[in-house]
Structure 1
Amino acid sequence: MIEVALSGQQIEFEWTVDGQDISDWSLVREEQGKWEYRSGAFEVHLSVQKQSEKVVLVSVVVEKGGAAFDLNRFKVRLRSPLRDLHRVWMPNLLLEGQLERVSLQWGFAYLTAANRCMPFVACLNRAGRNRASIGLMDQTTETEVRGCGFDAEARYVIELSRPIEGITLRTKEYREDVYLNCGEGSWFDAMTDFTQTYDALTGVQMPKLHPNAADPLYCTWYAHGRMVDQEKVLAELDLVRELGFRNYVIDEGWFGRGPEAAEFRGDYTPNPKKFPDMMKVVDAVHARGMNILLWVSPFQIAKKSLKYPELKRYLNQRDRLGELPYFRPMLSPWVSGTVQKPDVEERGELCPRTGITETYVPELVAGLIRDYHLDGLKIDFVDQVSVLPCTADHEHIYPTVGEAMARTMQAMDAAIRKVKPDAIIEFRLPYANIFLRPFATLYRAQDCPWDWDQNRRQCAWIQSFTPGYGPLAEADYISWRADERDENVAKAVMSAILYCVPSIGMDFQKLPESHLKIVKHWLEFYQAHKEEIVRGQWQPLEFDPHTSTFAIYGVQTTFVGLFKDVLGRIVLDGEKPLERLYLFNGANTSCIHTRLEPMEGEYELIVFDPFLEEVGRSKAKDVDGGLNLSLTVPEGGMVEGVRIGREGEKTMRRR
């Protein structure tokens, strides 16, 4: 084991090569930011690639004098003193819906790869400030991330190791770039810096976005489920367009030979009984000035699919027990006809380490866009491809799932861009990570349509590693009951426009007029401020698991989301534009009682109700560099504040 002190933290490195642990390392050379160690025929070179006062990127290279060797395991371990350290934050909590467990956990373990999560962990204090964050720049190789409560010297221990059990890498040189951040920022700041460091190291380039990529998106999933059909789509298009949506997604249910499309994943041709004329649907969407996307799960093959006999031998096998280890039962909650009938779906995923996957997946998705004149795709379940080693009896041409998935996703993206360079591609949170960003337009929150708090915290996480240039964060398709309170509907829709790209999944034909009015007016507000919201700097204002208070700093306007009942002092960035700002009341009380700092001068304050109708005006002047506010603001309403004296400024009016 090699131990190095960096930025006040102890970092340990271990290697298992040629089936043996190497433990007797000797330091043979040390100079400014560089160390050289030797153990028998092996050498290790450590060098600092990036260093500020609190942020370090260390390159770690192991070699055997030019000879090839088997790398069985590389481990890097952080031992961070339990001094003002009370929280551990990691991406995996979001994937498991456990963000409320941001605590000093006794232990944790999870896997990452090119198609799932990220090798990154942050240690925080109770205020949410970073104390020590560690991550690996290589985002593709399968990695096991572990943590344990404390060691004998009262230090929290985090370990990242790769490759995982069952994988051996044959190489002449093995390199890792290890990121360590001990700065005073929040978890959000640490994640953003980690991303920017990765971008600088890899030179990654983001694709040009479709001009309508940030427009409001409607999806059929929560409205119609797998019972979607051509008649339902055509019946609602005019209303969807009138409410302000410009992107229309037909989710799972459009293909196959029966009512439950999931039974036929792999057969991506329109169901003749449900969509007898798909081109008529596509033309109808386009005629209304909207873009159309179809759902597809390119890696999954269902047992009833016509593709199954051809592709079954290439399915991923990871459980050595059972007759069909690559299938697993899934319960479908959707209503079939008038009877709620859970259906068991048997399906598996293509093994990405076989050569056929790298050609089949790109040809499938590009063909859908080309053949049906689509504007994009909702590509689902990329994360379902297991990161564990496949044990099936077929050829594996790539040593790791991570490398194989990277090659397939790169080929898929190239095939899509060849057909439609600005295609709108939606990914879901479990596989929305740093590596896959160039291949997606939208990163959508994991399924949480009824919970706008969960939606917000997931989109806050997405905002932390897509800083200003994509993909765009997208709310999961907001949903509510037809008998919901108007105030709650407004809070849900208001939340969606502040995540970034608003998306809704309601059957609008069944909603009362008041709900439709709320949707229409809030989407109008979003369109009026879209560029500032989408391109603005998204920043949490305080630490809590729900990210209840946050700001979006645009070029000319600041937007402040307030989603908690009791507000303390809110400190904004004084370097950002504060002449005009909006305060959104997403709390459960009709009052905004807080102090905003730093604020100078006198402001006119205009209060709007959930329908964005003006209901009051007042003025407030700064006291010692801040505004003391105690305003009556309806739930689901907002306040517009404009500094008095700005010539030519107008307040937000819809009419």
Structure 2
Amino acid sequence: MTILTTRTSRYDLTCQSENPAFQTEIAVTAVEPGIDLVSIRLTTSEPAIPSPVTIAWTLPIVDIHSSWNPASDLEKNLLISSGFGAKVTTKAPVISLHNLAGHNRLTFAYSDGLHAVRMQAEVHDQSSTYACAVRLFTEGATPFTVYEETLRLDTRDVPFYTSLDDVQRWWAIRPDYAPIAVPEHARLPMYSSWYSFRQHVSADALEHQCRLAKALGCEGIIVDDGWQTVDTSAGYGYCGDWSVAREKIPDMKAHVARVHELGMKYLLWYATPFAGKYSQAYQRFADRLLNYREEVYQAGVLDPRYPDIREYLITIFERALRDWDLDGFKLDFIDSFSLQSDTAYAQQRGEGQDYVLVVDAVDRLLAEMIQRLQKIKPDVLIEFRQSYIGPRLKKYANMFRAVDCPNDALVNRARTIDVRLLNGRSATHSDMFTWNSEEPVESAALQLINGLFSVPQLSVMIDTLPQRHIDMVRFWLSFWREHRDVLLDGTLMPVHPEGLYPLVQAVTDKKHIAVIYHDMVVNPGLHVPRELMLVNGTQTGRVVLELDEAIGSRTCEIRDCCGVVLSDEKRLFDKGLTRLEIPASGLAILK
């Protein structure tokens, strides 16, 4: 066993390796106060597969109250236990430890977003310390002679969201991680068929909802599961062939053209890895699966290590894009491309495979896919969803959606903000908004308000909504479009991740928007721009504003959740606390 030690500006690091065939080197570079880059280099004369390597260090749990990582979801407490794995098909290799004020105490990230990396920050109760570690080669490796990657340690006293944004920028400047362009339509509201239709889609019904959605401000439709099968039992047994169920959509090209005539883009859903047990694809590829789960999927997961399987999938996408004049794809279940240790497929290696690791084959599949699709349509839209939101995937998709949370506005808020924190210029999309039509309109509005800092996706039967709900949707989509320059492109400032972001603010030189989701005081800080907007995302009837400096006389316009102006008057705003009577799910605009 080889154990190397080194010292950063704050920590003593050890690098433990059981690789006698490799020479292991570790070196530290201080790039600026509070940021250290730790390079890890392994070399050998002949290609070889290394055993796992661990870089470890400890830090006292002092002024650290919460943690953030891409796997934490709704549990952002101190305990990360055994850690989590990140690779190209799931999550991202980064952990942030911070205090209740939201100030970073340590954010550490690894440069490799392709191969499996295990990230760990485990609480040791006897010493009240964190045992931090980054474990490499935990799922094997392809033989190599040179390996070099970097661990980034950030201990600056900056907001946690700043440290995370700097991490995503660090990833994005790598030439082999450069994000693809984000077309304008990736940043505009969309209608989705999933919660409203489930698998019960038809051309006429979809086109009818498109007409209604367009009038409300949606600029595209994502047609989800059901277009490829007459079966409506909710399984994936009929996925894999990807032929249109003509009983539902007799002529796909003509159907897409009619949607285009409405001025809307058209994206189509594919369960990318699945070959359902009733499909011809399953019969063809049954001996080339990563796993098969009858009780979960009724489908096998295709093994992309076979070049003919990659070609099969890419050709399907090419034909659909060209023959039906689609505008893009919702590519689902990319995170299902994995070997399962509890199945007979776990150790399967077959003749004809050209990759050892599944992640390398998935990366090749996605790289060739986007290259060939962009040759047909340079502005093709590609949607991925949590958990596959890592840095390398920005090369292959331009829309990243929060994972499913139907009707749950609070979870949608937490997940969209989580995605935003690492997403850079790529478009972050909400999970689809859906609610019961008998909801009070102020309560229904919470679905949209909790997704304001992402691109809205709507999934309700619009013609079943009461008129007040329709007015509410039209208003909030209009508000979002008018102010997306700050909602999407401004500096994002969410607070209290351990409380699922009860207050989120975004600011530009000209606008400041604060959305208050819990009953708490909102402080916009110094240098408030000329336009300050306060959205009441609670069900109380007031918001308390705290000003660090007087901002003088402002016109204060109060609107309800449907956009109706309730008052419009000049008010003097001095330093200190001011109570504003803003109705539930309403807003105040100070100019």
- Identify the TM-score tier after normalising by the shorter chain: over 0.9
Offset at 1:555?
A: 4.6
Distance 1:10 1:479 in 2: 50
Aligned residue number for residue 132 of structure 1: 106
What pairs with 1:565-576 in structure 2 (closer than 5 Å)? 565=519, 567-568=520-521, 570-572=523-525, 574=527
Distance 2:576 2:121 in 1: 44
Unaligned runs of 5+ in 1: 19-40, 318-325, 331-344, 643-655
| Contact 1:457/1:545, CA 8 A, preserved across alignment | no
Distance 1:71 1:598 in 2: 59
Per the alignment, do residues 16 and 176 of structure 1 end up closer, same or farther by CA in structure 2, a change over 3 Å counting? farther
Question: Is it true that 1:194 corresponds to 2:174 in the alignment?
Answer: no
Aligned residue number for residue 63 of structure 1: 43
Task: Select between 229-238 and 73-82 the one with higher mean Cα deviation.
Answer: 229-238
Offset at 1:632?
A: 0.8
Q: What does the per-residue CA deviation read over 1:233-286, in whole Å, with 9 as the maximum and x for residues that have no partner?
A: 133232122111111111100003533472211121110211112223212111
Aligned residue number for residue 490 of structure 2: 536
TM-score by length of 1: 0.85
| Contact 1:42/1:63, CA 8 A, preserved across alignment | yes
Aligned residue number for residue 357 of structure 2: 400
Aligned residue number for residue 442 of structure 1: 399
Distance 2:239 2:370 in 1: 21
Of 207, 217, 220, the residue aligned with 1:244 is 217
Distance 1:532 1:123 in 2: 27
Distance 1:596 1:93 in 2: 33
Aligned residue number for residue 481 of structure 2: 527
| Contact 2:177/2:394, CA 8 A, preserved across alignment | no
Per the alignment, do residues 192 and 50 of structure 1 end up closer, same or farther by CA in structure 2, a change over 3 Å counting? farther
| Contact 2:64/2:99, CA 8 A, preserved across alignment | yes
Q: What CA RMSD, in Å, does the superposition of the two structures yield over aligned residues?
A: 2.2
Per the alignment, do residues 598 and 16 of structure 1 end up closer, same or farther by CA in structure 2, a change over 3 Å counting? farther
Per the alignment, do residues 640 and 56 of structure 1 end up closer, same or farther by CA in structure 2, a change over 3 Å counting? same
Offset at 1:388?
A: 5.6
What pairs with 1:335-346 in structure 2 (closer than 5 Å)? 345-346=297-298
Offset at 1:82?
A: 1.6
Q: What does the per-residue CA deviation read over 1:359-380, in whole Å, with 9 as the maximum and x for residues that have no partner?
A: 2222222221111100111111
Question: Is it true that 1:391 corresponds to 2:347 in the alignment?
Answer: yes
| Contact 1:300/1:348, CA 8 A, preserved across alignment | yes
Distance 2:141 2:188 in 1: 46
| Contact 1:44/1:61, CA 8 A, preserved across alignment | yes
Aligned residue number for residue 640 of structure 1: 589
Question: Is it true that 1:270 corresponds to 2:244 in the alignment?
Answer: yes
Task: Select between 542-551 and 555-564 the one with higher mean Cα deviation.
Answer: 542-551
Aligned residue number for residue 488 of structure 1: 443
Task: Select between 126-135 and 508-517 the one with higher mean Cα deviation.
Answer: 126-135
The aligned length equals 583
| Contact 1:142/1:400, CA 8 A, preserved across alignment | no
Aligned residue number for residue 255 of structure 1: 228
SS at match of 2:210: helix
Distance 2:22 2:193 in 1: 58
Aligned residue number for residue 557 of structure 2: 606
SS at match of 1:189: helix
Aligned residue number for residue 71 of structure 2: 92
| Contact 2:6/2:27, CA 8 A, preserved across alignment | no
| Contact 1:541/1:570, CA 8 A, preserved across alignment | no
What pairs with 1:303-452 in structure 2 (closer than 5 Å)? 303-317=277-291, 326-330=292-296, 345-386=297-338, 390-395=346-351, 396-452=353-409
Aligned residue number for residue 457 of structure 1: 414
Aligned residue number for residue 580 of structure 1: 531
Aligned residue number for residue 3 of structure 1: 5
| Contact 1:252/1:262, CA 8 A, preserved across alignment | no
SS at match of 1:282: helix
Offset at 1:153?
A: 4.7
Per the alignment, do residues 202 and 137 of structure 1 end up closer, same or farther by CA in structure 2, a change over 3 Å counting? farther
Aligned residue number for residue 131 of structure 2: 157
| Contact 1:569/1:597, CA 8 A, preserved across alignment | no
Distance 1:70 1:434 in 2: 25
Of 173, 177, 184, the residue aligned with 2:157 is 184
SS at match of 2:314: helix
Q: What does the per-residue CA deviation read over 1:531-570, in whole Å, with 9 as the maximum and x for residues that have no partner?
A: 34332222214554311211122352121111111x2352
Offset at 1:43?
A: 3.6
Q: Which has the higher contact order (CA 8 A, sep 6+)?
A: 2
TM-score by length of 2: 0.93
| Contact 1:80/1:132, CA 8 A, preserved across alignment | no
Distance 2:549 2:266 in 1: 45
Offset at 1:162?
A: 2.1
Task: Select between 225-234 and 246-255 the one with higher mean Cα deviation.
Answer: 225-234
Per the alignment, do residues 622 and 515 of structure 1 end up closer, same or farther by CA in structure 2, a change over 3 Å counting? closer
| Contact 1:128/1:544, CA 8 A, preserved across alignment | no
Distance 2:336 2:98 in 1: 31
Distance 2:429 2:550 in 1: 31
SS at match of 1:174: strand
One-letter amino acid of the structure 2 residue matched with residue 570 of structure 1: N
SS at match of 2:57: strand
Distance 1:77 1:151 in 2: 18
